[in-house]
Amino acid sequence: MSGPAREGQREQDNGRRTTGAQEADPGRPRRILVVGGGYVGMYAALHLQRGLRRGEAEVVVVDPEPYMTYQPFLPEAAAGSISPRHVVVPLRRTLAKCQVLTGEVVSITHAKRTAAVKTLATAEEGTGAVDVRYDELILAPGSISRTLPVPGLADHGIGFKSVEEAIGLRNHVLEQLDIASSTRDPQVRDAALTFVFVGGGYAGVEALGELEDMARYASRYYHNLEPDDLKFILVEATGRILPEVGEDMGRYAVRELRGRNIDVRLQTRLESCENRVAVLSDGSRFPTRTLVWTAGVKPHPLLAATDLPLDERGRLTCTARLQVDGAEHAWSAGDAAAVPDLTSDQPGATCAPNAQHAVRQAKVLGRNVLASLRGEALQEYRHKYAGSVASLGLHKGVAQVYGRKLKGYPAWFMHRAYHLSRVPTFNRKARVLSEWALAGLFKREIVSLGSLEHPRAEFELAAGTGRHPEAS
């Protein structure tokens, strides 16, 4: 167990609970607790470790995963253009001067400056959450998928927010081609070759574009499958897709997708997916074994387990200096925070929850925490939205940057160049660039490694437990 967790455990074992930073040992360095290792958490901690003087403060980063996921590369990881391990950034190596605690913060009592943390060790020991004290709190747990009470969704839906989901989806799609190629039942074949994506934002459109490219390419290696046998359907509840790239580029994206024989259904909702049948609000019914849900995100549930102020959407109410409004020594940014957009003409406007703002907010947040520790003036966050780029598959994309519209290959190239410049660490930049270069020389990999999801299945079968790989 790491230092903060051991300290909290000792306090519980002694029958007392910490009552705040003001009662801490005055000789110890101040502790900055960073909750979340995503865009905001990792970048803020990175700026802090670079700017802190020796002995000035210690930084503790808590996240359930020991890595940060660069989510814009998830579609390419799912399509096999990038190795999965190259879209994640190891926190311990990147934040070498910070304490990284792999665990989950389950509640925060900011009035006492404590966070209740569960780790793998506390689970093994059966001790429950331990209290970790802090002096400054950076709360950046991000967001989770926003689901709706659609019948069958919890049983059959596939998310697309983590690297595990991206690789699982890739394996699943390739397995459907195997099923379709080997079955003699036309209903099973049709369901296996029908892929439904719900949500016309970045995640849904980019995942659809990349996986459609990959699946149609892979179908050429099956003796009884043709690319046109595959049916891809995009379901969007509003009248447009990719609103971030503007109305004109959104309409172009629809035309591009439909030109690739992708069925784009606007102003349509998923009503049910029970029994592996996608029922849409326009009355259509599609038997399918693949339903990908990317219909938005919502604030992390941890925010509701704090004593900090939230807005009507469940986000932390923040000032332009990225302080939690009315709560001293508490900071936030990114998806979890409602940060005023000082560049907007609309009163009460807040910054969009995207990576463009999160990375820049993290830099300002790190500077402001340092300034606060030293009694210096704080900086307001101000960034005018530059535009957006989106991939629609290999060599295809749309973009609107500083009012300039791009489509096709130039937009796709800009998409890759922009995200290559933003992925953290030179190590990851070099690895991603080398993989792209090699992909231009060799054919796509179309191997499914679905057995990775059940690593003990083969051994259990050999050991005579009677369990089979597909049943594990």
How high is the pLDDT of residue 7?
Answer: 52
How high is the pLDDT of residue 444?
Answer: 77
Q: Is 336 exposed, middle or buried (0-12, 13-18, 19+ CB in 10 A)?
A: buried
Residue 348: pLDDT band (50, 70, 90) is: confident
How high is the pLDDT of residue 172?
Answer: 94
Among 350, 312, 349, which residue's Cα sits nearest to residue 332?
350
Please determine, for residue 186, whether its predicted confidence score (pLDDT) is greater than 50: yes
How high is the pLDDT of residue 140?
Answer: 95
Q: Which two tokens stand for residue 370?
A: 């340092």
Provide the percentage of residues in the chain whose pLDDT is more than 90: 66
How high is the pLDDT of residue 449?
Answer: 74
Average of pLDDT values for 327-334? Answer: 95
How high is the pLDDT of residue 16?
Answer: 34
Q: Is 26 exposed, middle or buried (0-12, 13-18, 19+ CB in 10 A)?
A: exposed
Higher-pLDDT residue of 447 and 78 is: 78
Residue with tokens 């059959």: 156
Q: What residue ranges in 169-306 does DSSP mark as E strands? A: 194-198, 231-235, 262-265, 270-272, 277-280, 285-287, 290-293, 297-299
Contact 416, 436 (CB under 8 A): yes
Residue 467: pLDDT band (50, 70, 90) is: low
- Helix or strand (DSSP H, E) at 388: strand 387-391
- Looking only at the bridges linking them, the beta strands covering 136-139 and 270-272 are unpaired
